Structure 1
Amino acid sequence: MLPLSLDQGMIDQIAHEFDLRAPNKEGLRQLIFHLTGTFDPTEPLVMDMATGSGKTYLMAAAVEYFRRQGMHNVMIVTPSLVVQNKTVQNFSYGSLRYVGGFPTPPEVVSPDSYEAWRGKQVGSPLEVATDPSMVFIFNVHQLVAPKKTHTSSTGTLDGQRTKIRTFQEDSGSLYEYLTELDDLIVIADESHLYGSKAKAFNQALKDLQPAATIGLTASTTDADNVIYHYPLYKAISDGYVKTPVLVYRKSGYTGKDAEERQLRDAMSLLRNKEAAYKEYRNDHPDVRQIQPALLVVCKNVEHATDIADLLRGPAYCNDTHAVLQVDNEHDNEATRRLLDNLDHEGSPIRVVVSVDKLKEGWDTKRIAVMCTLRAMASEVLTQQTMGRGLRLPFGNRTGNDRIDQLEILAHTSFEELLNDEDILQTFGLDGAVDDSTTATDILKDEAPIAGVDREGAVERGPIAPSTATTDDAGKEPRPALEPQSAEPQPPEPTVRSHGLEDDEEIEVATPATPIVVKINPDYAGTTFLFPSSTMQRSDSVFELKKIRNDDVKAAAKRVTDTGEVLHRKKLVVSEADNEIKTERVEDALVASDQVDKKEVAKELTSSVIKLGKLTQNQANLTQLTERIVPEFMKAADIDDWTEKAKVSALAELEQLIVDKLKAHASSLQTETTINPIELPIDQEFSLPVGEDILDLVGDDEQSEFKVRKYYGQWAKGLFPVASFDSWSGEYLLAMMLNYSEHIQWWKRLYRHEGASIAYSTRDNYYPDFVALDTDGTYWIIEGKAESGREDETVKKKREAASDLVTELISEPKFKDSTWGYLIAYETDVRTAQSWSDLKSMAQPVVRERYDD
């Protein structure tokens, strides 16, 4: 039995940290439940998870759960090099594909990198709770025993198999190390490929002698020990993936130009998707800037090459770089790089042409249209291939069918589809409907598609997005939808269809033109650097920027100047002894010698440096001379410095530094990194399509105010138009900034600009405004509801902003500027008569400038 316990509190915490969907959270609970019981460690506990439902996040959450319960070693077995490389990225901190949520990033060991394991071998063999997980990621081909154990070339498969078994002088044999672990948990990704029929692969997993084996797949068999089942139709119904829609022409595609016509239809569907995505991105600038793509599935390599050449031509994409062919003969490093970067902004790919190769491990959110050509009439589209198009491009359902549906363009006619007893298997839709659904049910449910009879289209799918445009947890915002009807609705079908008449044309949508807002002419060319920050766990040396001004002031208040004491004795003549003696009389208190203020500052600085426990670098020296010592002397209740006061000050400041050093050494620290962002990003921006500019409303016209609408004209705004999420917390604050004689200009901050401040290693927030006052101070301003005054998260944000203002003193790009931070609570905004009033109420954090 494994040393694991079922801890629901830990599951809840990890689910929150990894932002797990409800089915994945339940899957994690079921997995831990079964692992705490009796099982055969070499027989996989299989989790049947729909393609696109988030298996990778469940896998990562399980690895973290094991770590917190003392099991640090996990082997993830993948079916191919493609999946292996993707999985390495998922677990490698700093990768664009990294799965966030780990408080301590795992160490990754793969065929390309043994460093983490070797470091463990030469380090302490003892594991502690704070140690990271050691995640070994290999594809199953590399774990099969080599034919020739003396093979040394890692360029061959046998060479890779040999490498893992070869004894290294500095670390030993990795394979032997793995088999001797008593806590190795094996996670078999796409476990249906390692079943009993795949004898070599199946044996390779058993040879590892794991403490437990977990299988993840969307394709189970009756022989599998399935412990959790989350089918595709449930994922569709729950709104976690797109709704598949079969699109077909009444008579199918026939004749010599059948494929050309089908591809033209596919491109028309793609263009409509492109228009819908563009409109949505423009309306929601905070979301990922992702583009839709078309996947064309061909019969063989020769067929795929012909189709790719055709699609690059002027009648289709008219761009040689827009079409990517991926098959056994087009699988070089350049192709893999283009495929790997498909979701990156700026990818030139619009169409991917494949030979059903992209079955597992290709996690993209771009596929919006799929096309199976007539040449595949005898073939089927596997669920794994169809699953490449199921992922939601913006993370959640949008309420727009053009985005929330995957359109699968069939080559067959209506009659052929109707008579196809295996229609679900033919298009990879097995599992996408319940057992009672037939081909007739699917084909009679007509779904509207973009460009074809859009009149009367309805928003589909169960959707429950957040209404907030700013999310403290740093997640992508979920745009609000119109309220759903309160009347009971019948369940939506999980697979739909749309038939086209033979002569019907798919009309390509024309995107609407949005209103463009340009920067205020008075501020044309104005830019500034915003100190965006990130926070990481660190065991780095202590830095003086971590000492807050409040602590410096508290230490300074303990400085005393009690003066010098003169002990007095008088001379007494003793007649009896015939001698002169001394007799103690009352002490006399006299003023201590005066000391020059600059000399005190110099000695305070020198004493801290001479402690010997502080790293001597320019950043610490700047913090000491430009902030800590001046603030300390200013806060001390000393008008005229004396020798006695100086001694007291030296003792108090040294004690403050020593206490902070001890606290640092005994706790896990975080390191904040400043990432300057130049704002505004551009000198103009576009309003969401259909949005107009509303006239400003007076401060007594709250009933006229509309949330997230655009108002103008703002004379002192860098841009004359801005939108707001609240009345008193933002709109009235903007009014105050706009009409204050002490403000030069202000700018509304939007999430997509990236102006965020980290207040933990996982969490950041986005302030509402930056304003430049007439004294040259840049103010970071956040409007808050009154309830935030006692909120612990708000307090953490303020502390983080206070630390940020402090750190900017020693940041080269900010050393010549002054920054402040202010939380404007709604009551203060309504009560304050001016910007000066608001500052006095808010008790802001601001960099002090000290006189010599």
Structure 2
Amino acid sequence: MNRHHVNAIAGRLSLRHPQRRSLEILDRITEIAPPGKNADTAAVLETIRSEFPSVTDFEREFPSLCFALATGVGKTRLMGAFISYLHLAHGINNFFVLAPNLTIYNKLIADFTPNTPKYVFKGIAEFALNAPAIITGDNYDQRDPLSGSLLGGVRINIFNISKINSEVRGGKSPRIKRLSEYIGQSYFDYLAGLPDLVMLMDESHRYRASAGIRAINELKPILGLELTATPFVESARGAVAFKNVIYDYPLAKAMADGFVKEPAVVTRKDFNPAGMSPEEIERLKLEDGVRLHESVKVELETYARESERPIVKPFLLVIARDTTHASQLLALIQSDGFFDGRYRDQVIQVDSSKTGAEEEEMITRLLKVENPEEPTEIVIHVNMLKEGWDVTNLYTIVPLRAANARTLIEQSIGRGLRLPYGKRTSVTAVDRLNIVAHDKFQEIIDAANQPDSAIRVQAVVLDVDQLSQKTATVVSQSQLATQLGLKPAQLTHSTTLAGQKEAPVFTQPAEQKVAQIAWDVIRKLENQPQTLPTLEHLQQPEIQTAIVKAVKAQQQPFQSEIAGISEKPDIAAVVAKTVDLVMRQTIAIPRILVVPKGEVKSGFKPFTLKLDALNYPAVSDELWIQHLRTNELEIVAIGRGGIEETQLEDYIVSGLVEFDDISYDDHADLLYDLATQTVQHFQSYLSEADARKVLCCYQRNIARFIHAQMQAHYWEDVVDYEVKISKGFTELKPSAYTCSAQEPPADYRVAPADKSNMAKYLFGGFNRCLYSVQKFDSDAERKLAAILERDAVKWFRPAKSQFQIFYRQGADHLEYQPDFVAETNDAIYMLEPKMNTELEEPAVVAKKDAAIQWCANASDHTAHHGGKPWRYVLIPHDEIAGNITLASLAARFGG
């Protein structure tokens, strides 16, 4: 087997589990049935069927296999992996890629073209300098494939089957079969004569029995690889399942594994349609959909700012009955009476009624709907959004077309399941797709819960009173940034900037510009701890002189901006004032790196597994088949991909090596020892055949069970560690919160009425906080803030990634962010309030140990440069009260 190619490609392309499993299956197929010209198709089928019984017929005149992967898992990237593997492992150079329509055709051309955002071969070193040549249905007859003018050894032909279908109507031959003046034969005949042509069919269910595909069959490729999310074709008698599905990864599995959004059906609290006309219900659903959309938009922006990721602009999809209905909905949304007309220019209608320039504008706007600069936030469509329209920012669907519940589920959500950041974030608003269906809520829930349903949906009940309260993303940048007149990037209509009413320190434009340049120069000194080991060094005359010199060097670019101002700013004075501001409005947090000296050795010690809880029952044949079926499709595979391991232990070993912290080469003996223990455990109450089925069925869960126990036996051998300071201080990061747009910040001195829901309140009124507003997770934290306002010189709650402190939890190294940082005249404190019941939890103890070590390293650094020591204080919640001082808390609970 070419497992090293599989591992290399899976690693370079960052393949997800189902993509990797598909590649492993292809590797196995090429081993047991090597593809070749004029192979005995019947014999190849029998060989493959012996290991993959779900393949009962190729359904073509050549070996062809279907990989049924759910929408959003990544079929195009898998195509790139297939091509890379076949070329690297088997020297295959010629590929023929079929698309079902113009949209997917154009998308595939883009994705196979180097230097595009979703280039499928990114990371494949062999293609970096010698990229595959892309030949398309539009240019194949304009070049000679034999002349050497096509660069690269690999040639990928991309064709649109719908265009070929139109060409063969009436029994005509497609243009590809016509004589080419360059090669003296048709391009079709040239391809058919190639000894190594492999055909890849995207969304193959769309053209499986078309006239075009029958014509293409005559190319007689050595292998066909089909990709689809729906491995069946509709007929008068219902769905007819494919007979050549070799791997099935259904939508339910993709949802369980977190590769797509979690769909949820939404209704209004206490919704009662009695007495409401269909039109009134329709409008209510539409309005609630927009309210939900606005709420989601704010949550997405808040998350993006918190996590320092690109802001995702969501859009709402309205499914209309027909073009007339769509036009009526468009008129409604563009009217003054619909949310004061604010969506008038943010809605488009997508259907077949558009022609010419209107159609072109419609398609242009639709294709740009993910772009934050494109204003479209509502798309009305009538059954036009098919496969290939891949967007990641669809978050709300309002289906207004009459349909049964199952159709609503399966047809509505397909386009909205892709995740904008490629994986789940554990933030509900970012990970969920909302389907607004007040009148069909229970019907959809019931349909989704049927045993044969492809998916499960969550139920969401809107509290309209809360939803009607408009929210905004409040960006809380540091007081320093605000006083310098700086603005955060990417302010949107949903963004409120905290403290923006405060006047900047420098009121003259010329002085403000000098101050901002001075701050940029100081920020660059972050990365020069030898020059600026602590903020106090900014006060040294030679440092300020260097800053003044650097500011003067950058004066020229903004000279024109202050033209006409007779009085030029005193740069030295502005720099001195800026330095003073930085000193007063910053707590110097060094960036500390702890690196090992010499070679680091690590691994896992041998141990005896605790297997009492691992008691999977025997899997009966009937259950075995049911487990691997998708609804009523006649698809039977074994395990995750149908590959049967030779030894039972191999199921466990192959599952364990999927974890990032386990190297097969370093841990092979231990892995097989643990695998042997596990196999013996199962065979103590199961036959070998039943044990095999259990290991195959539950391979992943068993591996996770063992991996979790391995963590307690991890060891690391390091000769010594070296502490390096990469930054003498770090700029204070902005925070982002979702808050009511109408309510001003609450007074931190006053306990709110609803203490159980502290996270909804934004507090302000501070004098010594380095930010104008803050949020607290408990009333004890609010009380601690009041103590810091009284006893500290300055304090703040750090934003995400302000510190880079990491602690080990199991196999993971997680980032720890302390709750408070406060500076007094004598020390800098890192403060963490915790409930008494949490103080001894392993995660809390691990965070405490990591933080104490960080404070020790920081104190060593500051001691060498005349700075203040750092101390970590873990405080029980019930010890925080208004009459307790910071000094007392530090003395009693300091680490």
User: Normalising to structure 1: TM-score of the pair?
Assistant: 0.52
2:354 is matched by which residue type in structure 1?
H
Are 2:40 and 1:13 equivalent residues in the alignment? no
Quote the offset at 1:26 in angstroms: 1.5
Q: 1:200: Cα distance to partner?
A: 1.6
Q: 1:288, CA displacement in angstroms?
A: 2.5
Q: 1:739 to 1:139 in 2, by over 3 A?
A: farther
Cα separation, 2, equivalents of 1:220 and 1:336: 29
Query: Which amino acid letter does the alignment assign opposite residue 595 of structure 2?
Result: E
Unmatched runs of 5 consecutive residues or more in structure 2: 34-43, 46-57, 233-240, 500-514, 549-589, 601-721, 728-856, 866-895
Contact 1:188/1:215 (CA < 8 Å) preserved in 2?
A: yes
More helix by share: 2
| Partner deviation per Cα, 1:374-414 (whole Å, 9 max, x = no partner) | 54469923736512111112222222111111111115345
SS at match of 1:131: coil
Is residue 826 of structure 1 aligned with residue 724 of structure 2?
yes
Determine which of 224, 228, 246 is the counterpart of 1:213: 224
Give the match's secondary structure for 1:141: helix
The 5 Å alignment of 1:577-596 reads none
Please list the CA deviations of residues 446-500 of structure 1 after superposition, one character each: whole Å capped at 9, or x if unmatched: xxxxxxxxxxxxxxxxxxxxxxxxxxxxxxxxxxxxxxxxxxxxxxxxx211245
Listed as ranges, the matches of 1:275-290 within 5 Å are 275-285=298-308, 287-290=309-312
Partner of 1:786: 595
Q: 1:357 aligns with which of 384, 395, 399?
A: 384
Instruction: Please state how far the C-alpha of 1:334 moved relative to its aligned partner.
Output: 2.7
Trace 1:673-684 onto structure 2 (pairs within 5 A). none
Corresponding residue of 2:266: 247
Residue aligning to 1:227: 246
1:496 is the counterpart of 2:458? yes
Alpha-carbon distance in structure 2 between the residues aligned to 1:242 and 1:729: 47
- How many residues align? The count is 510
Alignment of structure 1 residues 38-187 onto 2, 5 Å? 38-39=44-45, 42-68=62-88, 69-99=90-120, 100-103=122-125, 104=127, 105-114=131-140, 118=143, 120-123=145-148, 131-144=152-165, 146-147=167-168, 161-162=174-175, 165-169=178-182, 172-187=185-200
Give runs of aligned pairs for residues 182-197 of structure 1, distance below 5 A. Answer: 182-195=195-208
Please give the secondary structure, in 1, of the residue aligned with 2:386: coil
Deviation at 1:684, TM superposition (A): 11
CA contact 2:305–2:311 (8 Å) conserved in 1: no
Distance 1:87 1:204, change over 3 A: same
Please, which of 461, 465, 468 is the counterpart of residue 507 of structure 1? 468
Q: Can you list the C-alpha shifts for 1:629-686, whole angstroms capped at 9, x where unaligned? A: xxxxxxxxxxxxxxxxxxxxxxxxxxxxxxxxxxxxxxxxxxxxxxxxxxx9979999
1:109/1:135 contact within 8 Å kept: yes
2:22 maps to 27
Write out per-residue CA displacement over residues 228-261 of structure 1, whole angstroms, 9 at most, x where no aligned residue: 1211111111111111101124445941322111
SS in 2 for 1:393: coil
What's the secondary structure of 1:399's corresponding residue?
Answer: coil
Describe the shift of the 1:684–1:138 C-alpha distance in structure 2 as closer, same or farther (beyond 3 A): closer
Shift of 1:523: 9.4
Q: Distance in 2 between matches of 1:138 and 1:339?
A: 23
The structural deviation recorded for 1:94 is 2.9
Structure 1 distance, partners of 2:255, 2:98, is 28
Distance 2:490 2:79 in 1: 44
Quick one: structure 1 residues 289 and 512, their matched pair in 2 at CA, closer, same or farther if it must change by over 3 Å? closer
Question: Pairwise mapping of residues 641-652 of structure 1 onto structure 2 (< 5 A)?
Answer: none
SS in 2 for 1:53: coil
Q: Is the 8 A contact 2:192 2:220 kept in 1?
A: yes
Change (3 A) 1:34 1:271: same
Query: Secondary structure at 2:472's aligned position in 1?
Result: coil
The one-letter code of the counterpart of 2:252 is: Y
**C-alpha displacement at 1:745, in angstroms?**
5.1
Contact 2:144 2:183 in 1 (8 A): no
Paired residues for 1:659-808 under 5 Å? 717-718=519-520, 741=542, 744=546, 785-787=594-596
Deviation at 1:124, TM superposition (A): 7.5
Displacement after TM superposition at 1:58 (Å): 1.1
Change (3 A) 1:788 1:240: farther
Distance 1:734 1:21, change over 3 A: farther
The answer to whether the 8 Å contact 1:786/1:825 transfers is yes
SS of the aligned residue for 1:365 comes to coil
Q: Determine if the alignment matches structure 1 residue 409 to structure 2 residue 429.
A: no
Q: CA deviation at 1:168?
A: 2.6
| Alpha-carbon spacing, 1:67–1:273, altered in 2? closer, same or farther (3 Å) | same
| Counterpart AA for 1:381 | L
Alignment of 1:577-656 (within 5 A): none
Can you give the 5+ residue segments of structure 1 that lack an aligned partner in the other structure? Answer: 1-5, 152-157, 434-494, 526-679, 693-712, 747-780, 792-823, 837-852
Residue 340 of structure 1 deviates from its aligned partner by 2.0
- Counterpart code for 1:86: K
Q: Cα distance, 1:518 vs. partner? A: 8.4
Q: Confirm or deny that 1:397 pairs with 2:424.
A: yes
Contact in 2 for aligned 1:266/1:294 (Cα 8 Å):
yes
Task: Report % sequence identity.
Answer: 26
Shift of 1:33: 1.7
Q: CA deviation at 1:782?
A: 11
Return the letter of the residue paired with 2:219: L
Distance 2:409 2:444 in 1: 17
**Range that drifts further, 327-336 or 346-355:** 327-336
- Cα distance 1:308–1:825, how it changes in 2: closer, same or farther (>3 A)? farther
| Residue of structure 2 in register with 1:386 after alignment | 413
Taking a change above 3 Å as real, the CA distance of residues 280 and 342 of structure 1, as seen in their structure-2 partners, is: same
Q: Tell me the CA shift for residue 269 of structure 1.
A: 0.8
Match for 2:22: what amino acid?
G
Instruction: Give the alignment partner of residue 328 of structure 1, picking from 349, 352, 359.
Output: 352
Judging changes above 3 Å, is the alpha-carbon distance between structure 1 residues 275 and 42 closer, same or farther for their aligned structure 2 residues?
same
Structure 2 residue 280 is matched with structure 1 residue 257: yes
Q: What is the SS of the residue equivalent to 1:213?
A: strand
How far the C-alpha of 1:508 sits from its partner, in A, is 4.2
* Paired residues of 2:111 and 2:118 also in contact (CA < 8 A): yes
| Aligned-partner residue type, residue 176 of structure 1 | D
The answer as to 2:271 corresponding to 1:309 is no
Structure 1's 683 and 384: CA in aligned 2 closer, same or farther, altered over 3 A? closer
Amino acid in the other structure paired with 1:187: L
For the residues of structure 2 that align with 1:12 and 1:278, how far apart are their CA atoms?
37
RMSD: 4.8
Q: Could you report, residue by residue, the CA deviation over 1:423-465 in whole angstroms, capped at 9, with x for unpaired residues?
A: 779xxx94224xxxxxxxxxxxxxxxxxxxxxxxxxxxxxxxx
SS class of match (1:246) = strand
Any conservation in 2 of the 1:783–1:825 contact (CA below 8 Å)? yes
Indicate if the aligned counterparts of 2:101 and 2:161 stay in contact, CA closer than 8 A: yes
Contact 1:63 1:133 (C-alpha < 8 Å) held by counterparts = no
State how far apart, in whole Å, the 2-side matches of 1:719 and 1:114 are.
55
> Do the aligned residues in 2 keep the contact of 1:47 with 1:229 (CA within 8 Å)?
yes
Secondary structure of the corresponding residue to residue 497 of structure 1: strand
Q: Do the aligned partners of residues 834 and 194 (structure 1) sit closer, same or farther apart at CA in structure 2, a change above 3 Å counting?
A: same
Letter aligned with residue 514 of structure 1: V
Select the residue among 283, 290, 293 that pairs with 1:270.
Answer: 293
The 3-state SS of whatever aligns with 1:303 is helix
